[in-house]
Each structure stands twice: as structure tokens, then as C-alpha cells.
Structure 1
Amino acid sequence: MAALCAALAAATGAGVAAGARTDTAAGAQTAVGSVPRFDHVVVVPFENKDYSAVIGSADAPYINSLAAQGASFSQSFGVTHPSQGNYVALFSGGQQGVTDDSCPKNFTGKANLGSQLIAAGFTFKGYSEGLPSDGFTGCSSSDGRYVRKHNPWVDFDNVPAASNVRYSTFPTDYTQLPTVSFVVPDMCNDMHGATGCSASIPTGDSWLRTNLDAYAQWAKTHNSLLVVTFDEDNFSSVNQIATVLVGAQVRTGTYAEQINHYNLLRTIEDAYGLTPLGSAAGAAPITDVWTTSPSPSPSPSPSSSSSPSPSPSPTPVPGVVNGGFEYGTFNGWTVSGTTAVAAGRSGAYSGAAGATTPTDGDSVISQTFTAPPGATTLTVWWKGDCRDTVRYAWATVVLKHNTSGTTTTPLPRTCTANGGWQKITDTLTPGHSYTLQLVNHDDNYPGDPSITWFDDVTVG
């Protein structure tokens, strides 16, 4: 166990390092980690919709038009359920112990994106539709269309009341915008639904077009950026959401690297040279979508062409690569949250998600693969050390069937500390594409951390 703790500490402490750029593009600065420094960033979060219900759906023509104009992420995920923890995580790098939507939450002296920007000489505002008055700290408006659980900056005592404003004050002269702003639609327009309102994707999509398209088009020629994302999906264990970036210096394409709210926060922090907060410190910034970035073309194959391919989607490998983690690395896998290579079940190594100290949200080890000819069974071995209840911490294995568009959970959410390796299986169809997610979730509560080991992932 001591060796495992050391490995986990090394993996967490190392984070994701990226070389600083020395070149700049006309009209723009490039900050830490090869993320451009925008004059303005506007983030618009919507509510509780699956990725597949938005991207490619006729219900969301405007969001899909934005996806065609910018960078759309096919493997973007929320951090947790329900809503409030995702907003807090995106704004502060951790859930701060939030596991429900109760109100009010009050955090004293906790660093967050707003306080970071202001301390560094930049500006921040949160524009909330339906907010009864600027600086309002109540839990909801009288009509229920504004709710504080979607307004995380009001929870932090180091974000001034002047940064918590009504959406009606959003400037029409976009040069007057703060450096970074969040725009939160009300409960009728955020696709969530409220009394007298349906949880309508077309309503939210139309609201976005009416209210933010002018900014989106302006941003392209004014060194600015629009980020459209969601807090969570429709409460599935996969928690896959749509995330789209549109604006200056954005290379158009669909990008398949796995990201979550912490990657998005890290990207904004890197743009302004801010120290990454909490779990954002271990999350990779988004660097491959920028036209000014020296990162390789998102095309999975090298090209001698002077014009890089805009297609970043990798070609799935046949079968699972490094399924026993015997390379001693996560080669072949994509990881997020807190992960490490640890002692194995049958060989030298396994993949550990979570830690023996509290972690915040999902830690995920994932891989996209194609079932080879004749392969009909996926096998995964797992071992859990979960000392909480399944309401707050769990292990799960999720298999997304990319070809058929369905999802199964060969290991439903479970919290156990029995210490033994257990085998789970699922059915495969030869030639079909799959994305496997090995997940450990912890609520960051002191005294009952959760960690799960995974090993010997095979298809046959």
C-alpha cells in the first residue's frame, strides 16, 4: 500500500505539464500551456441533456451550427450529479463537498476562477437571467425561474457582489464585457424546465441564437471566445455532455479527447496565467483546437501537407491496448481525475482510479476500441476499497456502444471494501466500436476515501 500511495502522489503531483510558447499571433497573446489569451471569454452552461440529444439532433439546429463553426468535443463529460456540484466544480476546481442541490452554500476564503481573475488584475462577472436584483443572494426568485444552485459565484465570499449581476445588464457593446463572464439562462431557457416551462431543447437552442449569436460572430474577429456546455447529462452514469467552442483562433473540427469541467477550467486559467485550482491542476488544458498553437494537427496521422487536417477523431484500435497495464503506464488509455499505475492482479501492474486520500468527483480510465473479428466478450477485473455509501462514493464500469448508440453498465454503481478481485463481463459485436470507462467516484469527504483498481481488460 505504501508503494501505491507513492505512485498516486507522483501521478497527482505531476499533473499535466505543457511547454510555454514564445511565439504570438497578431492581435493575441499566448499564455501558459499554449492557450491563447482572449480579450473576452463568455461561458454559457445549459442543463441536464445527453450529448446525443443535442449534437446531431434536429431539436438543436443552432448549437449544431455552432459546432460546425468551431470545436465540438465528442467525449465531454460532467463531473457529478446533481447540478450544483458541477457548477461549483467548473468555477472552483472542486465540488467543495457539494453533493446535492440544497441552498444556500457558503464558502469562506476558497479560491475560485472569479477571485483568481480579479486578484490578477482581470475582470469577472456572472450574468444570471431572472436574477431579481444585482448582488441578490437568495435561493430563488419568486417565480422560480432563477435559482442560486446554478450561480456558483454567489457562494464564495471572495467574489464581490458587483460581479453577481442580472443578465439584462449584459452589454450590447461587447468591448465592455469583462475578461471572463458566465451567462446562465433561467430555468425556462436552460433546457431544465420550471413551473410553467417545459425542459425543451428547442427553447434553449432558440434562446442561445437570439441572445448570443451576435457575440459568437463578433468574437471570431475580436480575439474572443464563446463556450457552450452543459452541467450534466440526463442523470446517467455516463454523464456525457455537449461542449462547443466558437471564436477567434479556433480550428474547426470534432475533437475526441476526453474532457470534463476541470479541463475547461484549466484551459481558462492557463489563458490568463492563473494557478490551476484543485482538480484542474491534474487536468490537461485544451491546446489542440487553437490555430496559434504549436500542437500537432488533430489528425491522428502525420501529414506532409502545410494545411493541417481539421479532423481530430482517432481511429479506434482493434481490441484493447495495454489492457493489463503491463507497460507500467497508461499507454492506450485516456485518464482524468486522480489515477495511477499500481500493483496488479496477475501481472505487475493495474490501473488505479481514486486514491487512499479523499478525491473530488470522478476519476476515469477510458479507451475507445473496435471489437476484433470473433470477439464477443469484454472482461474486466476490478477491486474496490470504498468506505462510504453508494450515495456518495462508488465504482462503476460503463461501456458505450458507439456503433449502435447504446450504453451498458457491466458494473453498476457499487461501494464495497471487500478487498477481493472480481470479474465482470459484457457482450460485444465484432467490428463494432466501443468506449470503455473505468470509474471511481469520491465526494472528497475526509475519513472515507474511495479507490478502485482495474486490471486484465480483455476482449475475446
Structure 2
Amino acid sequence: MAAALAVVASLVAPSFAASAQVFSPPSTSPYVESANYTGFSNGSLPVQHVTPGLLFDRFIQIWFENTDFAVANSTAEFRSLADRGVLMTRYYALTHPSQPNYVAALGGSFWGMADDAYYNIPANVSTMVDLLEQANISWASYQEHMPTDGYNEATYTSNNYIDPSAADYTYYWRKHNPTIIYDSVSNISSRAALHRNFNDFAVDVNASAIPQWVFVTPNIVNDAHDTTIDFAADFLNYWLEPLLADPRFNDNRTLILITFDENENYGINNQIFSVLLGGALPEELRGTVDTTYYTHYSSMSSIQANWGLGSLGRNDTNEMMANVWSFIADAVGYNNTFVADADIPLTNITGTIPGPLNSNSSFVTPWPAPNTSAVGAGGGPVFVSDDSEECE
């Protein structure tokens, strides 16, 4: 099956510039605003109604960059997290490079995208945001070093807080901020305003106002993109470890996903380190391993299953690619698809998947309509936007 899906476009990974920078915390703690971020917060989000889920009421996903599974799994801090959670050893990214993995985890497809160029995905393309808001589930995206709420430019360069004597540094990259890439989100001011930086995060957590669905992207050095896995581990010790002990962030109804956008070595399949932890994880599962086949689409199907949501009628309903995390599947009675090692698709490909955003004209296709007959893990209907969804 794997060989039939596509041909590997390149067996050599691009050169990621892991620098000799030494980790320096951008603030004194995750609870304190910092001048190292551009602009202080204008105030916290409101404390909102909680829509209960079956197994958890808050989901927080934190994404890191460009690291092979074995590398992360041999790093002390990431191993420590695995020892406190469920390590999913057959979790795969969807393609290369970074951006298509991010947008796929929000929209159920990367539409053939094969680069990190600036895209605006049309406003009639729905996302998880539509499903969340339809169910009255609060959400936000926290992007370290994003200068202002709702900022929609490709990058932002600011003071080099690690080495103030050096030139300014481009810490923020839009390509790692998936919801803002969709016009159905960024073109609506109330939704755009829910893209907040880490000064906003400090204010929100202090106000007990962290929403129910949260996407977190550290800056380009703290996520290991421009540095190393050890640098990212230092960030986790500084930022996440205190929060894990704080019920305003991680209470007994919170589930946290630590994952990576893609692996580093394009010459091997796209296995990534991914672990579930948090207060909502049953005690008997902590320190265990889950060998089910998962992809980034599983984060969509698992959320849909927990809250009984509808779906987008895309790969979030793909029975193989969107297996539901096992402890949720067991609780809701969802039957995951067994995938043998020999049948795991080759997702280390890039550029050869057809779609409307493929930069190669030979692979460009029209925008597909959602499959309105699809049945997702949440059991609800397929969401179709008021604009009749994608162009057919």
C-alpha cells in the first residue's frame, strides 16, 4: 500500500540550521509578562462557559519542530513526559515541510501544499474552529513572539533576547500558526482576536481563563526549529513543567498533547514523537505505550469523539489515517483500524500529492467538496459552511 501512494520526491532532508544558541528564558516564568515579547497584554479572555466532554473538558496541543522520533525519545525531558503519559509510538506526520502538517491538523487536508509559502485558504473552507464554535467550546491559539492579537503577516522580527548584542531575530513564523492561515478564521475579527501571544497567555492563565481547545506554538528557537531538541527540552522545563502542577492550566479534566510537525530525515518515514498527558489521563495509563497507528488527523477525530462533534468530511473521517486515541476510542466504543507495519503509508513524501495548493501545475486540482455522507468519530453531521463549502 505504501509504495502505491506516492514516490518519495526527495531522500535528503533540507538543512535545518540548528544553532549554538544557549537557551535563555524569555520571561521570569510563564506567569509573568515580558518586554521580550512585543507589547503587553490588553487584558485576559473572559472566563467562559465549559461544555463538558466525555473524558476531558480542555485540550491543549503543543507543537515542536523537525525531530526524528528516536532523537526526541532519547532526550531526558521528553522521556520524562512519556513516563507520565501515554507515548504513541506509531504516530506519523503527513508530509513535508512544516506548514502543510499544521494546516492539515486543523482542516483535515493539506490540499497538495508542498511548501512554506504564504497562503490564504479560502473563506468557504471550514476548520475545527467551526465544529468547536458550533458546540459552544471556547478556543484560542497562543503563539510565542507573535506581536499583536490576530497578526497575519508571514513573520515578525524582534529584539534578540538571547543575545542582545546580536542582530534582531525572526522569532515568529505564521506558517506554524495554522488557524490564522484559514480565511474562515482570520477574516472574522472575533476569531482573529483569539490568536494571542505569550504575554496574553500569562494574563489568561492567571485569570483562570484558558479556553477549552488550545493550540500552542513556541517561538522558532524554543520549538527546536533553529536550535536542538535539548534547547526545546530546556524550554519545556521552563514553561510547561510549572504549568503541569497548576490546576488553572492542567486540572483533572485537561488532556495535553506534545507532538512534532514532522521528522527531520526525509529519507525515512515520517514517524514523530507524540505523548498524551495531563490530569484527565487515567492513572493506570500513565507511563504506558500505545502502538496504534495515528497521524495528525487523529487529533481531530479524537476531539470530535470526546465532545460528540460532527466532522469536516475530509481526512478527519479517514478510517485508517484518523484513528482515535485508544483510551478515547475505548470509552466511546469507536473501532480503530488496525494498520500493519507493512501497510503504513509513506508520508515522508513532498510535492507529489495533488491538490489546489500544489505549486506544481501538474498536480493542481480544483477545491474538493466535503464528503457529506462521511461519518466521523463524533457521530455528528458533516459541517458545511454557509458559503456552500469548497468550490466544486
TM-score tier (shorter):
0.5 to 0.7
Match of 1:231 in 2: 261
Identity %, equivalent residues: 26
Unaligned stretches of 5+ in structure 1? 1-26, 194-198, 297-329, 338-352, 354-360, 365-388, 395-441, 448-460
Larger radius of gyration: 1
Match of 2:281 in 1: 249
Residue type of the partner of 1:257? Answer: T
Match of 1:392 in 2: 352
3-state DSSP class of the match of 2:156? Answer: coil
In structure 2, distance between residues paired with 1:80 and 1:148 = 18
Displacement after TM superposition at 1:215 (Å) = 3.0
Displacement after TM superposition at 1:99 (Å) = 1.5
Match of 2:305 in 1: 270
Match of 1:451 in 2: none
- Does residue 1:164 correspond to 2:195, yes or no? yes
Q: How does 1:174-185 map to 2 (within 5 A)?
A: 175-185=208-218
Displacement after TM superposition at 1:294 (Å) = 7.2
Q: Compute the TM-score of the two structures, normalised by the length of structure 2.
A: 0.64
* Residues 74, 254 of structure 1: 8 Å contact kept: yes
Go from structure 1 to structure 2 and tell me whether the alpha carbon gap of 1:140 and 1:390 turns closer, same or farther (over 3 Å shift): closer
In structure 1, distance between residues paired with 2:244 and 2:364 = 37
- Does residue 1:72 correspond to 2:91, yes or no? no
Deviation readout 1:207-262 (Å, 9 max, x if unpaired): 12221223333466431011100000004240110000001134220111111101
Residue type of the partner of 1:333? Answer: A
Displacement after TM superposition at 1:393 (Å) = 4.0
Displacement after TM superposition at 1:64 (Å) = 1.1
Match of 2:171 in 1: 145
Which has the larger share of helix? 2
**Following TM superposition, where does structure 1 have runs of at least 4 consecutive aligned residues deviating by more than 6 angstroms?**
334-337
- Does residue 1:82 correspond to 2:100, yes or no? no
* Residues 93, 280 of structure 1: 8 Å contact kept: yes
Go from structure 1 to structure 2 and tell me whether the alpha carbon gap of 1:390 and 1:209 turns closer, same or farther (over 3 Å shift): closer
Name which of 445, 449, 452 aligns with 2:365.
445
Q: Compute the TM-score of the two structures, normalised by the length of structure 1.
A: 0.55
3-state DSSP class of the match of 1:126? Answer: strand
Deviation readout 1:49-105 (Å, 9 max, x if unpaired): 0000011x1xx3222111001110111110000000000011111103322100133
Match of 2:219 in 1: 186
Match of 1:279 in 2: 315
3-state DSSP class of the match of 1:264? Answer: helix
Go from structure 1 to structure 2 and tell me whether the alpha carbon gap of 1:89 and 1:188 turns closer, same or farther (over 3 Å shift): same
- Does residue 1:51 correspond to 2:69, yes or no? yes
In structure 2, distance between residues paired with 1:294 and 1:268 = 12
- Does residue 1:201 correspond to 2:229, yes or no? yes
Match of 1:428 in 2: none
In structure 1, distance between residues paired with 2:263 and 2:301 = 21
Displacement after TM superposition at 1:290 (Å) = 5.3
3-state DSSP class of the match of 2:233? Answer: helix
Match of 1:99 in 2: 114
Displacement after TM superposition at 1:177 (Å) = 0.8
Higher relative contact order (CA 8 A, sep 6+): 2
3-state DSSP class of the match of 2:297? Answer: helix
Deviation readout 1:95-141 (Å, 9 max, x if unpaired): 03322100133332211112321232111111001101111110000
3-state DSSP class of the match of 2:193? Answer: helix
Which has the larger share of strand? 1
In structure 2, distance between residues paired with 1:121 and 1:127 = 19
* Residues 189, 207 of structure 1: 8 Å contact kept: yes
Go from structure 1 to structure 2 and tell me whether the alpha carbon gap of 1:332 and 1:50 turns closer, same or farther (over 3 Å shift): closer
In structure 1, distance between residues paired with 2:305 and 2:109 = 17
Task: State the Cα RMSD in Å.
Answer: 3.3
* Residues 293, 323 of structure 2: 8 Å contact kept: no
Residue type of the partner of 2:150? Answer: G
* Residues 270, 285 of structure 1: 8 Å contact kept: no
Deviation readout 1:15-44 (Å, 9 max, x if unpaired): xxxxxxxxxxxx99554xxxx2x2211100
Go from structure 1 to structure 2 and tell me whether the alpha carbon gap of 1:333 and 1:216 turns closer, same or farther (over 3 Å shift): same
Go from structure 1 to structure 2 and tell me whether the alpha carbon gap of 1:179 and 1:221 turns closer, same or farther (over 3 Å shift): closer
Match of 2:340 in 1: 333
The count of aligned residue pairs is 282
3-state DSSP class of the match of 1:289? Answer: helix
Match of 1:40 in 2: 58
* Residues 292, 338 of structure 2: 8 Å contact kept: no
In structure 1, distance between residues paired with 2:88 and 2:363 = 26
Match of 2:327 in 1: 289
